Structure 1
Amino acid sequence: ARHGDKYPIDTSGLTPKYVFKKNFGEVPVYIKNRRADMDKAKQEYETYVSDYFRRGAMREMNDDERQTIIDGLKKQWEDVHHEFQTLSVIIDTIPKRLHKERLEHEMKLLEKDIDLLEKHQVIYIAD
Structure 2
Amino acid sequence: MSLVYITHHDENIVGCEHDFEKAQGPRESIFVYKNPVVERAAKYARKLRERLNEEDKKLSVILQADGTRVLTEAKKSAHRTMGCAHTPIDPPCAYLRKSQGIKWRRENTHKCPKMPPMPPLPPPGSGGKKPTMVPNFIKRNRMCAGKTIPCPPPPRYVDTPVGARHDLLNSGLVPQFICRKDFGKVPIYLKKTKRMLADMNAVCAKEQARLLELCRGIKGFTRASVQSSGPPQVPGMRVMEQAERNEILEGLRLSLTEMTKQYQSMSLLIDSIAKRQRKSKLESDLRQVEQDILLIDTTPIIYVSEY
What TM-score, normalized to structure 1?
0.61
Matched, 1:101 2:288: no
Distance (Å, rounded) in 2 between the aligned partners of 1:84 and 1:41: 39
Find the counterpart in structure 2 of residue 45 from structure 1: 215
Q: Which has the higher helix share?
A: 1
Task: Map residues 16-27 of structure 1 onto 2, 5 A cutoff.
Answer: none
* Residue from 268, 277, 283 that aligns with 1:89: 268
Distance (Å, rounded) in 2 between the aligned partners of 1:83 and 1:104: 11
Matched, 1:76 2:221: no
Distance (Å, rounded) in 1 between the aligned partners of 2:220 and 2:303: 11
Distance (Å, rounded) in 2 between the aligned partners of 1:86 and 1:124: 38
Cα displacement (A) at 1:99:
0.5
Distance (Å, rounded) in 1 between the aligned partners of 2:219 and 2:262: 42
Distance (Å, rounded) in 2 between the aligned partners of 1:49 and 1:103: 45
**Percentage identity across paired residues of the two chains:** 27
Task: In structure 1, give the amino acid aligned to 2:233.
Answer: F
CA RMSD of aligned residues (A): 3.0
1:42-67 deviations in Å (ceiling 9; x for gaps):
15426448789363x00000111101
Structure 2 gap ranges (5+) = 1-204, 222-231
The structure 1 segments of at least 4 consecutive aligned residues displaced by more than 4 Å after TM superposition are 49-52
Task: Map residues 30-69 of structure 1 onto 2, 5 A cutoff.
Answer: 38=209, 42=212, 44-45=214-215, 47-48=217-218, 53=233, 55=235, 57-69=236-248
Distance (Å, rounded) in 2 between the aligned partners of 1:54 and 1:115: 24
Task: In structure 1, give the amino acid aligned to 2:247.
Answer: T
What TM-score, normalized to structure 2?
0.27
Which structure: larger Rg? 2
Q: Per the alignment, do residues 43 and 81 of structure 1 end up closer, same or farther by CA in structure 2, a change over 3 Å counting? A: same
Q: Per the alignment, do residues 88 and 68 of structure 1 end up closer, same or farther by CA in structure 2, a change over 3 Å counting? A: same
Find the counterpart in structure 1 of residue 73 from structure 2: none
Q: How many pairs does the alignment contain?
A: 91
Structure 1 gap ranges (5+) = 1-33
Q: Per the alignment, do residues 46 and 107 of structure 1 end up closer, same or farther by CA in structure 2, a change over 3 Å counting? A: farther
